[in-house]
Amino acid sequence: MHARPLHPDPTVSPPPQAEGRSPAVGSTAAGEAASGQVLGTAAPQATLDYRVARDIASQVARQREELLKSQPGTDRGSEEQRCLNWIAEAVALWSDAQAMTPNEDEALRRAVYDLLFRAGRLQPYLDDGRVEDIIIQGPREVWLDYGDGERRQVAPIADSEEELLDLLRELARSSGYSERTISTASPTLALSLPDGSRLQAITGLGPRTYAVIRRHRMSHATLDDLVRLGMIDPILRDFLGAAVRAEKNVMIAGKQKAGKTTLLRAMLREFGPETRFATIQTEDELFAHANGYHRQVVSLVGRESNGEMDGAGRGAGEVTLLDLMHPALRMSLERIVVGEVRGPEVVAMMQALTNGSGGNLCTIHARRPDIIFDRIAELYALAQINLSEQLAYRQTANGLDFVVYVDMADETQIGGRRHRYVSHVLELTGIGESGRPATNSVFSPGVEFGEVRAVPRMEPACIDDLRRVGFDSSLLQHRYGAWSAPLPLRVGLRP
């Protein structure tokens, strides 16, 4: 990863993207429309004094409080429109006194609105569709990671630790997590923002408060989108789509940030719109219930404890993925999707794979394709109910049909970019001689001709099932896949 220096003017916020903009924290459709009319559609490049913005925001907040007391039935859209009018009036008065430019007026209006209704000084970075990660190292040190691997330091989002903690608490409240907070007594915070971004924060366990916001730049991807990105080729697109339609149980594995969740979202689009399925996640990152396509989604999200312990030694109010799995199985579901298997819920997931209908999907972290089954065995051990490695292997072999491995080649440190791609598709064929699951490599890298991405190798044993849902098995005879040339890595395989 290569880094750029701090923005020349640390008070300038980057403009949000006009296209593909994510929903804002705490915003409504009416509020967005109103802000577009009063605040414009792009943040101007102008110096901004956030002390003034906070003063005006406090003034308008008091006016809003009086409004809601006198007119308690005011809807959110009307409330925001009244506040926008008050913001415009207050900024106009300040502008006249300070002889501000139109761009400075616009920047101040937008900043006040963001402080009142959105994510404050963090909002411009959430609006930037190019950003993949927002890295917060205390209030005054903020870095943006872009999708191509660039990292840039940008303007601060708070002036003090307490202001930063207040921002994080407000993000939790406005995102619907009123039971979650962050303090020295509760030093970690994990949640999903309304745009689907995932936030993890830590305080009181080091010299400053740390947070990372993981953005999802492709919230509703399809397999065709992944072909255009070069993650898969058309042959693998057709194969994966057929595997889903043929109700095969598929586990997506890979490194962190390689694109597992993006691939899972795309494969979900191969479910029919009336397919009834559950998504089970620690934070909602699949957005299947809100993608405008599926109509029978049971979206279940785990819940952290409130910090107290119950009589059984568990965190009071905590709901784990394992807790969600059992009631989900009684919801008349056709399929189950687990956003990420990372603990004891792997046991319930594998039981669902072996006992229920097919077509279930999940993801798991694994550094290499050859350690996936050991990783599953490790998670079985975490269940702490004396589950053996042999049981883990047997249930994996009996429950899974395919493992799809997603890899990433990061060449940003040598002037290149990040490349994300599927490298392997393994078919599970039973228990091997060693007691581990036996596999066929249906797709693997074309090492012999310098291709790191997946190319066809053989027909799976279940090829007839795929033919029955429309897969053209002759595509698997294309030795080089549908790639026009090997992936152009700066350091890579050589034929």
Q: What's the pLDDT tens digit per position in 215-246? A: 876 778 899 999 999 999 999 999 999 999 99
Q: Judge whether residue 19 has pLDDT over 70.
A: no
As a whole number of angstroms, the distance between CA 486 and CA 425 comes to 18
| Predicted pLDDT of residue 340 | 85
The vertex-125 CA angle with 208 and 115, nearest 5°, equals: 80
As a whole number of angstroms, the distance between CA 411 and CA 268 comes to 30
Tokens of 345: 């819920």
Q: What is the DSSP string of 143-164?
A: EEEETTSEEEEE--S-SSHHHH
Q: Judge whether residue 297 has pLDDT over 50.
A: yes
Can you tell me the mean pLDDT for 426-449? 94
As a whole number of angstroms, the distance between CA 451 and CA 494 comes to 8
Q: Judge whether residue 104 has pLDDT over 50.
A: yes
Q: Which domains does the chain have, with CATH numbers?
A: 12-20+29-117 (no CATH), 120-217 (3.30.450.90), 223-477 (3.40.50.300)
As a whole number of angstroms, the distance between CA 67 and CA 62 comes to 9
User: Side by side, which strands form the sheet with 142-146?
Assistant: 2-4, 150-154, 142-146, 131-137, 210-214, 198-202, 188-192
Residue 495, judged by CB atoms within 10 A of its CB (0-12, 13-18, 19+), counts as: exposed
Q: What are phi and psi of 206, to 5 degrees?
A: -170, -170
What confidence category does residue 45 fall into, taking pLDDT thresholds of 50, 70 and 90?
Answer: very low
Q: Judge whether residue 337 has pLDDT over 90.
A: yes
Model pTM score: 0.75
Tokens of 159: 């002036």
**Of the candidate ranges 280-284, 353-357, 419-423, 487-491, the one whose mean pLDDT is the lowest:** 353-357
As a whole number of angstroms, the distance between CA 478 and CA 495 comes to 18
Helix axes 29-39, 76-98, angle to 10 degrees: 20
C-alpha distances in Å from residue 383, one per residue of 303, 377, 378, 380: 19, 10, 9, 5
What confidence category does residue 24 fall into, taking pLDDT thresholds of 50, 70 and 90?
Answer: very low
As a whole number of angstroms, the distance between CA 258 and CA 444 comes to 17
Tokens of 370: 């050859």
| Predicted pLDDT of residue 461 | 96
Burial 96-133 (b: 16+ CB within 10 A, else e): eeeebeeebbbbbbbbbbbbbbbbbbbbbbbbbeebbb
Can you tell me the mean pLDDT for 11-32? 35
